[in-house]
């Protein structure tokens, strides 16, 4: 009487469903066979975490209250945050550069600023000079240049 029992449950299922050349296989648990273990859906570890659940609950509560509606979109907030951080970083770098300047470099910078200021004053004075003086100076320069070229 035991000779007609299949060796395993798997062989019995194979006999019941002949392969039709179908690529997709049908799950075994649809048959409703009580001996088979039905698969359970796997849990997402992120959604299962306590912090995620609390954050989700808080977002839902804020949404119901209407607190989550901000005037600026998220991208704009992120870009402003980056600009602010970049500006702060630039300020810090400038302050560090000023701190690292030696006394010699400071003196050179002061001297350079004084020379620039003197040049600007001379340009202003030349701008107020009459036109004939400017032309005369240009003529002197060209005549000395051409005289030097002839001598060479």
What's the pLDDT score for residue 9?
A: 53
For residue 2, what pLDDT is reported? 47
Q: CB of 126 within 8 A of CB of 134?
A: yes
Across the chain, which has 152 residues, the per-10-residue mean pLDDT values are: 51 53 59 76 86 89 73 82 96 86 85 94 78 78 62 54
Query: DSSP assignment of the chain, as one string?
Result: --TTS-SSHHHHHHHHS---S-SSPPPGGGG--TTSPPP-PPPPHHHHSHHHHHHHHHHHHHHHHTTT--SS-HHHHHHHHHHHHHHHHHHHHHHHHHHH--HHHHHHHHHHHHHHHHHHHHHHHHHHS-HHHHHHHHHHHHHHHHHHHHH-
């Amino acid at each position: 009487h035991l000779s007609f029992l299949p060796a395993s449950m798997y062989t019995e299922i194979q006999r019941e469903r002949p392969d039709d050349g179908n690529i997709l296989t049908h799950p075994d648990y649809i048959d409703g066979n009580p001996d088979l273990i039905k698969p359970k859906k796997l849990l997402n570890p992120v959604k299962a975490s306590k912090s995620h659940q609390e954050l989700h609950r808080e977002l839902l509560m804020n949404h119901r209250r209407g607190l989550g509606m901000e005037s600026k979109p998220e991208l704009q907030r992120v870009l402003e945050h980056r600009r602010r951080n970049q500006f702060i970083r630039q300020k810090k770098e400038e302050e560090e550069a000023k701190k690292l300047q030696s006394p010699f470099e400071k003196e050179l910078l002061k001297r350079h600023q004084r020379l620039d200021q003197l040049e600007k004053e001379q340009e202003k004075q030349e701008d107020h000079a009459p036109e004939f003086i400017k032309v005369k100076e240009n003529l002197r320069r060209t005549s000395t240049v051409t005289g030097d070229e002839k001598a060479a």
